Structure 1
Amino acid sequence: MSFFGGVNDLELFLSRCRIMSVGSVPVCLAAMVFFIKEEGWYFSLLLCCVLPVIAAYLAIRGKSEIRAGMAASGLALAVATLPLAFVLASLEGA
């Protein structure tokens, strides 16, 4: 059974979701350290420490169980973490 017209497209999609979600964890941890050190914003500890780990778990689990929806939700959560942190930091500073 093919997915989007190709044989390896589902495997490629799941692999990319997993890689990008796991790759977002160190980026969010670096942003968390920056927010705490420079701005004194301790809510970033909760936001940037918990959400990327949950996103990586969802993406890894989605790839191992071959569930595209779970992997996509992990990727969406990983991508949305940093913009959400920046918006919340700007709202708190205003």
Structure 2
Amino acid sequence: MSTIDTEKSLEDRIELFMMRNFPQIQMHGGSAAIEAIDEESGEVWIALGGACSGCGISPMTVQALKSRMVSEFDEINAVHASAGMDGLGPASDDDFSDVPF
């Protein structure tokens, strides 16, 4: 079970999780946004933007998001993430890794 308040919506809990676990994203000029959540399948789509787009360590950030979110939230089975968000809208589906953790 998640250690984050289970009375909040899954989206709220994921946003809180990202703020608490990945403050370095914002400190380095990056951003993270929830693109979509499918609670039925347990899938979450996250997009990293700002300085994360094109950053050499963004693949490590993506892997950390995937592994930590799946272990933190019982209701999440797979996280799809990209570092292609440019602030102009959602990243294309081609940018998402489909490897569930």
TM-score using structure 2 length? 0.27
More helix by share: 1
Larger radius of gyration: 1
Task: Between the two structures, name the one with larger relative contact order (CA 8 Å, sep ≥ 6).
Answer: 1
